[in-house]
Structure 1
Amino acid sequence: MRHIVWDWNGTLFHDIDAVVGATNAVFEPYGLGSYDADRFRAVYTRPIWAAYERMLGRALEDGEWERLDLGFHESYHQLMLECGLAADALSTLQSWERAGGKQSLLSMWAHERLVPKIAEFGIDHHFTRIDGLRSASGGHKAESMVAHLAALGVDPADVLVIGDSLDDAHAAQHVGARAVLYTGGMTSRADLMACGVPVVDTLENALDHA
């Protein structure tokens, strides 16, 4: 492998506490009790509205998803200010660079928020390209991965995707790249393992597959 495509939220950026905290904030009026990371991972699925229906034990009503999603993002963007990089993110980026590898970053988070946040941590110089979401709708990562690799001009056979979600693995498979999934995000280890790609507990261990 010569090129790593990193995910951001839940991978390099350790934001699970902000995700869980924001979820608890929007569901507080429902009296569900608060979630911790493990309990949240047990109900988490994509699309996220399906996870919300699991939590509520019923279908969402008209307009309810939009209200919950807006409230979640308002809380998340406050709580994420307290979040930092994953414990071994910086050392892993440096290690791969020293080994002569190239790396880029592809996220489904808003591009205009992503770029300054990465610069704030002083790690932007490690990436040959940074792409976030430039449209309103999230959708799946596969098409974004196609565009990202095309812009880089790299052969997917030379690419390892490192992320924390099944979406990352599916995006890698879609373009013919390999994937490693990291347990630091929102998806449970059991769900990650079921995907059939290597699963690691540290980012440093992910490099073993590069």
Structure 2
Amino acid sequence: MTKHIVWDWNGTLFHDIEAVVGATNMVFEPYGLGSYDADGFRAVYTRPIWAAYERMLGRSLYEGEWERLDFAFHEHYHRLMLECGLAADALASLESWKDAGGRQSLLSMWAHERLVPKITEFGIDHYFTRVDGLRSATGGPKAEWMVAHLAALGVDPADVVVIGDSLDDAHAAQHVGARAVLYSGGMTSRADLLAFGGPVVDTLADALDYAA
């Protein structure tokens, strides 16, 4: 029985695909690459992000190139994301799970010092028993952070459902022995999500149905 949901932020509760694609296009404009739309971006997206960049360029990154690209991406993204909001049914889903008596937390690979003010700005911080963002310069796989997140919460992974938009979320859930429900509204193509073999949904409300 699901007692606790661990939500992802970027691409899941926070609908920022337009900012991600826009920032990516700006970063790669000097390379002469054509602009991506959302579906085109999803076709090349993977984690770790540097691997997606190598897909886009068709070659390995040079020494120091990843750091320059990552810095430039975030410069653009942090400006463009100001126009983004919550997913259409994010607030209703958070409220619904709270009303059902379930607990919920937030684990993101976005910088912790930016994440906390942002969820406070949206007025949703009170829904979460714990919020963890990235506290180091590089995140790596989400799995190791999921271990620490659940340990801090003191919850049994068997009681947990992870809701996110990437295979990294699915692998993190699998790593700790939790279940995953994958959401198609974010960065990863639906085909790639389906290939994982678990449930894939088009709305967060549908994700709650699986969690329940």
Q: TM-score range by the shorter chain?
A: over 0.9
User: How many residues were matched structurally?
Assistant: 210
Offset at residue 62 of structure 1 (A): 2.3
Identity of aligned residues (%): 85
Match of 1:123 in 2: 124
What's the CA shift string for 1:153-189, capped at 9, x where partnerless?
Answer: 1111110100011111111111111110001111111
Match of 1:84 in 2: 85
Match of 1:110 in 2: 111
TM-score (norm 1): 0.98
Determine the C-alpha separation between the residues in 1 that align with 2:64 and 2:134. 24
Determine the C-alpha separation between the residues in 1 that align with 2:163 and 2:84. 20
Give ranges in structure 2 of 5+ residues lacking alignment: none
Conserved in 1, the CA contact under 8 Å of 2:48 and 2:141? no
Is the counterpart of residue 23 in structure 1 residue 8 in structure 2?
no
Match of 2:196 in 1: 195
Determine the C-alpha separation between the residues in 1 that align with 2:175 and 2:6. 14
Give ranges in structure 1 of 5+ residues lacking alignment: none
Offset at residue 59 of structure 1 (A): 2.2
* Superposition map of 1:1-210 within 5 A: 1-210=2-211
Matching residue's letter, 2:34: G
Determine the C-alpha separation between the residues in 2 that align with 1:146 and 1:198. 22
Q: Which runs of 4+ in 1 moved over 4 A?
A: none
**RMSD of aligned alpha carbons:** 0.9
TM-score (norm 2): 0.97
